Amino acid sequence: MSLSSAEDATDAALIGAYRAGSERAAAELVGRHATALGRFLYAAGAGPSDVDDFIQEAFFRAFRRLDGWRGDASFRSWLFTIAGNLLKDDFRRRKGRRVLSIEDGDVVAASDPDGDLVAADTEQRLRAALSGLPRLQREVFLLRAQQGIEYADIATALGTTPGAARVHYHHAVRKLKEICNA
Amino acid sequence: MPECTALSDRMPAVAAGTDAWSALDLDHLAACSDCRTEWSLVQIAVCVGQGLPVPRDPAAVAGRVMGRLAAARTEQARARRSTWWAAGLAAAAIAAVVWTGRPAPSPESSVAGRVVESAAAGATSAALVPELDSLDAGELREVLDAFDAPLSERVIIGSPTLGDLSDQELERVLRAGGV
């Protein structure tokens, strides 16, 4: 697979090329999804210094289990589900979570001179609040709100229905609002 | 409310910049505190990790993943080869049992095997073990008969010597060991 064709190819085509032996296709898939995956992992509670390792492990497992990906869910949502499992196992091993609250009006205006600091603080509190949610609610919220993945796709990746995914999202939003208003 | 659901469904796209609120949407957001709070959450979620340099080097991540996959494939191939060897040996042992009606004696533990080892130790060539596979049925029967002989007819105390062997056995050992 040539450089330009790899960049233009769909995920499914890249996976097909990788299965046929193209490492270039695999590298393109990593480059295409690694940043979003890193942000997802970080938002879901991974430590900044651990994110790279989680990304590497998630891609490694995904490529090894490609036979399990049948193309009914997008590669991205399937990959993120693998990453979610990694994070869940890590949480289980560490068994420690820190939960902070989000205060109302935390969205920062671009003109705010202290915006960066406040934004960083808000990020931390959202991450902490998310870590207090049940896993499905946390993942559905992040896949939907942060990654913009459709409910149908999320549902396929998580092995549930679009309706149930929507319910998980709204439960997550409700709980996060409660924390906001606490 | 249907309006809230419609807005909720569009929030990720608007936060990502691929959609925009209309004046009506903004009016609704101004009036509905639930939608406003949800919109704040979505905006924060979209921003989380944006300032984080992760992964530091996607190309390096790809390289490491490919390296691990290659190592895993090599390990898998080695494990598969070992399994085939073990299965082959097991099948050969079973075939020997079926063919002879009893477990084939291991060359190292048999008298003949130890004799070969002793003989080979004194020889200039490396120690060789008789290859049972190369024997024809008659020869194999003779070897097995020799093993089946009463203990009193065999010298098995200590290390056997070439003098303990019959002419036929001696000839076989000489052939196999190159003594």
CA atoms within 13 A on the CB side of B31: 9
Is residue A169 within 8 A of residue A151, CB to CB? The reply is yes
Burial label for A40, CB within 10 Å (0-12, 13-18, 19+), is buried
The mean pLDDT of A24-36, rounded to a whole number, is: 90
Residue A78 has pLDDT above 60, yes or no: yes
B138 domain-assigned: yes
Answer yes or no: do A51 and A107 share one domain: no
Residue B153 has pLDDT above 90, yes or no: no
B72 domain-assigned: yes
Answer yes or no: do B79 and B34 share one domain: no
Answer yes or no: do B37 and B72 share one domain: no
**Burial profile B59-93: b = 16 or more Cβ within 10 angstroms, e = fewer:** eebbebbbebbeeeeeeeeeeeeeeeeeeeeeeee
Annotate B46-91 with DSSP letters as a single string. Answer: HHTTTTS--SS-HHHHHHHHHHHHHHHHHHHHHHHHHHHHHHHHHH
Residue tagged 């989380």 (tokens): B48
Answer yes or no: do A15 and A91 share one domain: yes
What is the tally of structural domains in chain A? Answer: 2
Angle at A72 between CA A67 and CA A73, to 5 degrees: 95
**Burial profile B152-173: b = 16 or more Cβ within 10 angstroms, e = fewer:** eeeeeeeebebeebeeebbebb
For A56, A90, B10, B43, the CA distances from B17, given in Å and listed in that order, are: 29, 33, 11, 11
Answer yes or no: do B76 and B92 share one domain: yes
B142: containing domain = 111-177
State the pLDDT at residue A102.
Answer: 44
Its pTM stands at: 0.64
Answer yes or no: do A86 and A140 share one domain: no
Last residue of a domain, one of A96, A119, A134: A96
Residue B4 in contact with partner chain A when CB distance is under 8 A: no
Answer yes or no: do A20 and A103 share one domain: no
Answer yes or no: do A1 and A24 share one domain: yes
Last residue of a domain, one of A34, A66, A96: A96
What lies within 8 Å, CB to CB, of A14 at 6+ separation is: A1, A6, A25, A26, A28, A29, A32
For A22, B89, B173, the CA distances from B112, given in Å and listed in that order, are: 56, 21, 8
Of B13, B47, B65, the CB nearest to A148: B13
A126: containing domain = 98-182
The mean pLDDT of B133-159, rounded to a whole number, is: 64
Answer yes or no: do A44 and A111 share one domain: no
**CATH code at position A171:** 1.10.10.10
Lowest mean per-residue pLDDT among A38-42, B1-5, B8-12, B153-157: B153-157
Residue A148 in contact with partner chain B when CB distance is under 8 A: yes
**ipTM for this prediction:** 0.78
State the pLDDT at residue B8.
Answer: 94
B116 domain-assigned: yes
Last residue of a domain, one of A80, A96, A112: A96
Residue A118 in contact with partner chain B when CB distance is under 8 A: no
Cβ distance A60 to B61 less than 8 Å, yes or no, reads: no
State the pLDDT at residue A181.
Answer: 65
Answer yes or no: do A90 and A107 share one domain: no
Q: Which of B9, B40, B46 to mutate to test the interface with A (most CBs of A within 10 A)?
A: B40
Is residue A151 within 8 A of residue B12, CB to CB? The reply is no
State the pLDDT at residue A98.
Answer: 43
B106 domain-assigned: no
